[in-house]
Structure 1
Amino acid sequence: MSRTAPRALRVGERALLVELAGGEETEAFHAELLRRRAAGELPAVREIVPAARTVLLDGVADPDRLAAELTGWDVGPLPARVDGAIEIPVRYDGPDLAEVAALWGVSVEAAVRIHSAAEFRVAFCGFAPGFGYLTGLGERYEVPRRATPRTAVPAGSVALAGPYTGVYPRSSPGGWQLIGTTDAVLWDTGREPAALLTPGTRVRFTAEGDAPGAGR
């Protein structure tokens, strides 16, 4: 897959905003940043904050030097394996599950198998504390947001919108398609880190209980 060279913009005195094409390209670049930092190959950076099409590097010791360096990186594809993935048990009982299955052109049971078999990765976080935007289903299974958002989505709702899967950490309004529920605690200030799902985290959803397709 051809890749667009990243564009690095100065933000203040000690930060860089790296613009990318989005999707897997942004995720792969973020993963490369984390790899290089862990290996001691990245100049001093205090914080790395990914988004859908950008990565913010804050607290950069030498922004100009790093900007010139990273635009020439040869960033490979994301690794396919999910060793050490967090498993989130899901009851596939969401009110929009049948509609999602219809959009995919499959049965409800097949929709559950498709979602629970996928390998997910937290691309970035936002919207609410603890809410991660997870990729892994692929373009074939993208679904639109609901035409009319709900005024209250229950905490623990597993939902789809566009290319993303997400889990609502608390009750809030929302327009995503609800396919299931989980008891996993997404945000806990008594935990370090407070967020269960942080950028780069690998995730699997496992069907439990009497959910359609569970255990198949």
Structure 2
Amino acid sequence: MLPFTVCPVGDTGLLASFEQRIAQSVGAAVAALNTRVAAAAIPGVVETVPAFASLLIFYDPLVTEYDAVAAAVQKLAQAPGSDTAAEEGRLVEIPVCYGGTFGPDLPFVAEHAGLTEKEVMELHAGREYRIYMLGFLPGFPYLGGLDERLFTPRLASPRTAIPAGSVGIGGEQTGIYPIASPGGWQLIGRTPLKLFDPSAGRLPYAAGDRIRFCPITQDEFDAIAQKEGTV
């Protein structure tokens, strides 16, 4: 596992910080440490929050203390064993209808990359993406691993309303808007899945998992949307 430092966050938290950069290796290390902490069930630890290059660990100060949690986390990092499963995470497939009204910025992304719209779609759907962290909106996955040819600047003026399920590109990353919101990423498609559902009490993915986008037709989109209740 990559080296990291620990420091207190208030009187109920500990931050394990890796090298401060967005990279697959760093994201995998965060995911691996998060998995080990969860599996260890450290007394007093109540929640973990993975990010791009760090893991925030909350604990109950009536049950444990910072030094005990810090020592337990360092011991877990040094323990022998394979982190393969943790590094890979679950693979979640997300159906996406690219272009048209679902992806109004696909032509710009293609022009910026010097590619056809079809080539952009194939490149975007042709690889797996690591979920580095969830943030900005409930369930918004910040995904790493975008093909460099698809790096595209954000909109100069963000939209005030983006439909739920929209898939976009912002700089070096791609992501999904799980609920309707403002936003400045370039929209290239949309998924008919209902990703954020408070009544279900869960998301179909978590930080550390992987996502693969699966292209679908308009008819397939409509059929799934009808089933999901996202029409």
Change (3 A) 1:75 1:126: farther
Match of 2:48 in 1: 48
What is aligned with 1:22? 21
Query: Normalising to structure 1: TM-score of the pair?
Result: 0.81
Alpha-carbon RMSD: 3.1
Name which of 216, 222, 231 aligns with 1:208: 216
Residue identity in the other structure for 2:199: G
Counterpart position of 1:13: 11
In 2, the alpha carbon distance for the partners of 1:78 and 1:136 equals 18
2:194 corresponds to which residue?
185
Distance 1:122 1:84 in 2: 10
- Counterparts of 2:167 and 2:94 in 1: how far apart (Å)? 10
Q: What secondary structure sits across from 1:46 in the alignment?
A: strand
CA gap 1:204/1:107 in 2 versus in 1, 3 angstroms: same
1:85 maps to amino acid: L
Q: Counterparts of 1:1-216 in structure 2 under 5 Å?
A: 5-20=3-18, 21-23=20-22, 24-37=24-37, 40=40, 43-44=42-43, 45-59=45-59, 61=64, 62-66=68-72, 68-69=74-75, 84-93=90-99, 94-193=103-202, 195-209=203-217
Instruction: Report the Cα distance in structure 2 between the residues aligned to 1:71 and 1:39, rounded to whole angstroms.
Output: 13
TM-score (norm 2): 0.76
Q: CA deviation at 1:115?
A: 0.6
Percentage of pairs with the same residue = 37
Query: Which has the higher mean CA deviation after the structures are superposed, 171-180 or 184-193?
Result: 184-193
Q: Is the 8 A contact 2:30 2:53 kept in 1?
A: no
Work out the CA distance in 1 between the residues paired with 2:84 and 2:110.
28
Return closer, same or farther for 1:89/1:67 CA change in 2, 3 Å cut-off: closer
Equivalent pairs, count: 207
Specify the SS of the correspondent of 2:98.
Answer: coil
The 3-state SS of whatever aligns with 2:8 is: strand
Alpha-carbon contact 1:82-1:119 (below 8 Å) kept: no
In the alignment, the residues of structure 1 paired with residue 137 and residue 169 of structure 2 have an alpha-carbon distance, to the nearest angstrom, of: 16
Query: What secondary structure is seen at the aligned counterpart in 2 of 1:9?
Result: strand
Question: What is the deviation of 1:208?
Answer: 0.8
Unmatched 5+ stretches in structure 2: 220-231
Q: Which has the higher helix share?
A: 2
Q: Which runs of 4+ in 1 moved over 4 A?
A: 67-79, 81-84
* Residues 1:182 and 1:208: Cα distance change in structure 2 (over 3 Å): same
The answer to whether the Cα contact below 8 Å between 1:145 and 1:161 also exists between their aligned partners in 2 is yes
